[in-house]
Structure 1
């Protein structure tokens, strides 16, 4: 499960309205009959119109300065393994979002506890993803794409009589490059804009910066972790517990749907990987055989380049030595198995 929290802005200023963002989230509804369209939903309602979402978010910005975001965007990205476990069921995803937003609200550190009914949010399920420039497949195909573009330009010049050459030979070279590209789908070289295969269901959530009373500011992007400070001689609670939120979101999915989460899918494992890669892999090697096998499969699908290792679990030092070489080649995909891993 990968969850992101971002503040929506344009260049150096923050959007005055969420209208453009809501319009963007309507893209999958275009050219679909009303009965086949996916609607916005909140904690208690399954169908909310885009116009209602824009009105409610845009009118809930009292006393916010131009330099402050008016709303935040949360994106919940279940892994394909998690989506398969729940049958890619949108009703189960809505249930999960509503429980997760309870965890989101409770992660604010305030003198008066924040409940889910205190926050104003609207969520939308999307079912498709397209390849973008930052995807591993696009990056690794790019050298081939660059050569193809040059050859295609040469073809145009040959047809115009501006360049001497054999157009058939150039066309064969282009086809050869397309066939040699490392990432292909349905026999074609993967390029930007192509739809990704498999379950790609994810959820976008628009959350107002202000609570439902339009008085209390709730920023998940606060630079302060959950803490207390002295203000005018009194102790004041502040901040947002991101780690706590991510862990609660993970546990919520596992509890709701009886999901048996592998070690490498855990948020705590993700943090361990970032802080101490060798310890992370030592933990993987110490897993029971079945779990270790599943862990390596999950990591492989996430984008990690895993070597063919047959190292006994009690020989951790040997594993660490091998992983010192592996560390240089590891590239973790953004939308892989656990939050951030």
Structure 2
């Protein structure tokens, strides 16, 4: 499960309205019949209109400054392996509702002397079924040297065609065709580029959640740098903080329990965080897995964006030697492409 939490920005500023983001989330409804539209939902209601979402979120920003985010975006991105355990889109919606209960629990805040509960949240979620490759995807990054050279060739061919330069167009076209076919990541015989539709089941959830609680009185920021602390404000002790680590772990536990999913080491938040922060410990834990589990872990990691993974090693020594060589080269890319706001 890949989860992101982020404040929405336009350039370097926070938008005053969520209307632009809501419009973006409506893109899959374009051209559909009324009966086929995908509506927003929240903890208790389905078939919520985009207009309602904008009105409710924009009207829930009391006392927030222009320098503060008015709402946050959360995405729940199940892996292909996890999606195989779902029988219908409705299950993913029910999972979202359970996850939001955990989200509320991870705040170190109190409202009227009690802990934050899911009913205190003002959020709206949307199921999407299509994804395209973005510039941060590891396949795009690994195709980039080919894309750069192809663009150079196209520009050179344009200059020759306009009489601004000299050269053999056929030779340049031949080199460009070779590069198109040699790019490491292809789909249906074509080089994967930004905007290419991703293959397979791509169901995922987008959530818009207000910075303020449902009463429009209390600020609930998942962007807090504190997991749990307390300060004195106006003579009163105020609890603050949000535990992201706990939230990511609880979201996986909810999925596993709800759908009877056996989570492999390579398909866990723990392993991705370990890969980034402590490669030595990551290798030690990976090497101790039984061979079938180890094979599955490599398969899942490769599918989820760990770049340039070797063929499945058959011994602990091979794991260490092959993976250590790849860590320095792939660590930064995999961290950025993991899609998890650590």
Q: TM-score, normalised by structure 1?
A: 0.91
Match of 2:61 in 1: 61
- State whether residues 302 and 332 of structure 1, in contact with CA within 8 Å, keep that contact through their aligned partners in structure 2: no
Matching residue of 1:310: 314
Cα contact 2:62–2:216 (8 A) shared by 1: yes
* Aligned-residue offset at 1:320: 4.2
Cα distance in 1 for partners of 2:336, 2:80 equals 13
**2: CA distance, partners of 1:107 / 1:32:** 38
Alignment of 1:212-251 (within 5 A): 212-231=214-233, 235-251=237-253
Of 262, 265, 288, the residue aligned with 1:263 is 265
Can you list the C-alpha shifts for 1:203-222, whole angstroms capped at 9, x where unaligned? 11000111111111111111
Partner Cα separation in structure 1 for residue 323 and residue 49 of structure 2:
51
RMSD: 2.2
Match of 2:274 in 1: 272
Distance 1:334 1:254 in 2: 25
More divergent stretch after superposition (142-151 vs 105-114): 142-151
Work out whether residues 136 and 333 of structure 1, in 8 Å CA contact, stay in contact via their aligned partners in 2: no
The alpha-carbon deviation at position 233 of structure 1 amounts to 6.0
Q: Which residue of 1 aligns with 2:73?
A: 73
Mean Cα deviation higher: 247-256 or 219-228? 219-228
| Gapped regions of structure 2 (runs ≥ 5) | none
- Alignment correspondent of 1:97: 96
Q: Is the 8 A contact 2:73 2:208 kept in 1?
A: yes
Contact 2:137-2:337 within 8 A present in 1 as well: no
Where do 1:195-210 residues align within 5 Å? 195-210=197-212
Q: Which runs of 4+ in 1 moved over 6 A?
A: none
Q: Are the counterparts in 1 of residues 291 and 314 from structure 2 also a CA contact under 8 Å?
A: no
Q: CA deviation at 1:113?
A: 1.1
**CA distance 1:171–1:212, change in 2 (3 Å):** same
How far the C-alpha of 1:297 sits from its partner, in A, is 1.3
Q: How does 1:132-171 map to 2 (within 5 A)?
A: 132-171=134-173
Partner of 1:326: 326
Paired with 1:3 and 1:288, the residues of 2 have a C-alpha distance of: 28
Change beyond 3 A, Cα 1:266–1:168? closer
| 5+ residue gaps, structure 1 | none
Query: C-alpha offsets along residues 27-59 of structure 1, whole Å, 9 cap, x if unaligned?
Result: 111111111121111111110111000000001
Matches of 2:286 and 2:44, distance apart in 1: 41
CA distance, structure 2, for counterparts of residue 139 and residue 274 of structure 1: 18
CA distance in 1, matches of 2:46, 2:13: 33
C-alpha distance after superposition, 1:209-249 (max 9, x if no partner): 11111111111111221233445665432111111111111
Asked if the contact 1:222/1:239 (under 8 Å) is kept, the reply is yes
Contact 2:266–2:296 under 8 Å retained in 1: no
Distance 1:171 1:17, change over 3 A: same
Larger mean Cα displacement after TM superposition, 109-118 or 270-279: 270-279
**TM, length-normalised to structure 2:** 0.90
- In structure 2, distance between residues paired with 1:91 and 1:335: 28
Residue 35 of structure 2 corresponds to: 35
**Matched residue, 1:25:** 25
Partners of 2:281 and 2:105 in 1: how far apart?
32
Name the CA distance, whole Å, in 2 between partners of 1:319 and 1:297.
14
Contact 2:14 2:67 in 1 (8 A): yes
**Alignment match, 2:109:** 110
